[in-house]
Amino acid sequence: MFGFIKKAFGASKDSEVKKIKRDKIDKDELEDLLLEADVNYELIEDKLDQLPNSITRVQLYNSLISVFDYKANWIYPDSNKPFIEMIIGVNGAGKTTTISKLAYKYKQDGKKVMLGAGDTFRAAAIEQLSRWAQKLDIPIVATRQGHDPSAVVFDTIKSAIAKDIDNVIIDTAGRLHTQVNLSEELKKMVRVADKALNGAPHRKLLILDGTQGSSTINQAKAFNEMIGIDGIIITKLDGTAKGGAILSIANELKMPIYYIGVGEKPEDLIKFDVKSYINSILDEIFGEE
């Protein structure tokens, strides 16, 4: 499932050599492996300090799983239809692509989906999302470049209510003239969503570019301060050896990671499962069970 883990934890470097199964790993060797996979240094030290010199699979499993020991800070609404999600993140992180993936997934699950082209800053962003909507045969609310994205938010939600839509996914700009503008615009979009439907947006998802590794953490903190983030999707993990950054991101942000992106096609979205993720890492280190 998590093929990218192989890249991050060394197997690919010598893929001809069959992984030898072992019962324990030395602290020093483990430290090197985790550092290479882009796990944050302080996190590694913190975890290794609590482990013996020679570490078993079970010991490491318990140590790594504890990084994810936190709860979501939002609640799925009871019957508040439609379910509104806002997709946030810097330009190029993979917002628009991820929206198409989510839309595809919801549609596969039998849901009625609608998109809102809330990145009105760039004409290309509106076109890109419209193309996806057409390809996936999903309705979209869009306006011309430069128009107020909050109006798009309002219109999308109202239209979705009228058409009995299940899932609304709203795109946002990743960059404006200034950071202050961006912050104000996003805040307004959130306020207006709540006016269109009480409690909306129900989930604000932050898209982080997995190839940037741990360096996305500061970005995430900035967006969280602006409008509060409810969860994370990490993209582009198909092309990187930084799969360990997921641990650093979880540890620093203490926010649920819902999905990971592993390609550019609509089906390249994987539900993130903590246990499978950690077991994939452990398989690389100890050999498959």
Ligand X SMILES: Nc1nc2c(ncn2[C@@H]2O[C@H](COP(=O)(O)OP(=O)(O)O)[C@@H](O)[C@H]2O)c(=O)[nH]1
Of the pair 128, 214, the CB lying nearest Mg ion is at: 128
- The Cα 199–Cα 77 span in angstroms is 8
State the minimum distance, in angstroms, from the CB of residue 280 to ligand X: 17
Contact letters for Mg ion, residues 215-254 (x by CB under 5 A): ----------------------------------------
Q: Of ligand X, Mg ion, none, which one does residue 266 interact with (CB within 5 to 8 Å by kind)? A: none
Of the pair 58, 124, the CB lying nearest ligand X is at: 124
Runs of H (alpha helix) within 197-268: 216-227, 245-253
212 binds Mg ion (CB under 5 A): no
95 binds Mg ion (CB under 5 A): yes
- The Cα 107–Cα 101 span in angstroms is 10
96 binds Mg ion (CB under 5 A): yes
196 binds Mg ion (CB under 5 A): no
- The Cα 221–Cα 219 span in angstroms is 5
State the minimum distance, in angstroms, from the CB of residue 19 to ligand X: 26
Residues 91/174, Cβ–Cβ less than 8 Å: yes
State the minimum distance, in angstroms, from the CB of residue 129 to Mg ion: 7
Of the pair 170, 245, the CB lying nearest Mg ion is at: 170
SS (H, E, C) 159-186: HHHHCCCCEEEECCCCCCCCHHHHHHHH
Vertex 263: Cα angle to 258 and 264 (nearest 5): 105
Q: Of ligand X, Mg ion, none, which one does residue 253 interact with (CB within 5 to 8 Å by kind)? A: none
Supply the Cα-derived Rg of the chain in whole angstroms.
20
Residues 124/142, Cβ–Cβ less than 8 Å: no
Of the pair 59, 215, the CB lying nearest ligand X is at: 215
Angle between helices 216-227 and 245-253 (to 10 degrees): 30
Of the pair 95, 242, the CB lying nearest Mg ion is at: 95
State the minimum distance, in angstroms, from the CB of residue 15 to ligand X: 20
Residue with smallest beta-carbon separation from ligand X: 261
Task: Please report, as ranges, the residues that interact with ligand X according to CB under 6 A.
Answer: 89, 91-97, 174, 207, 235-236, 238-239, 261-264, 268
Residues 168/85, Cβ–Cβ less than 8 Å: yes
Strands 257-261 and 231-235: parallel
98 binds Mg ion (CB under 5 A): no
Q: Of Mg ion, ligand X, none, which one does residue 93 interact with (CB within 5 to 8 Å by kind)? A: ligand X
In the complex, which residues of this chain contact Mg ion (CB under 5 A)? 95-96, 125
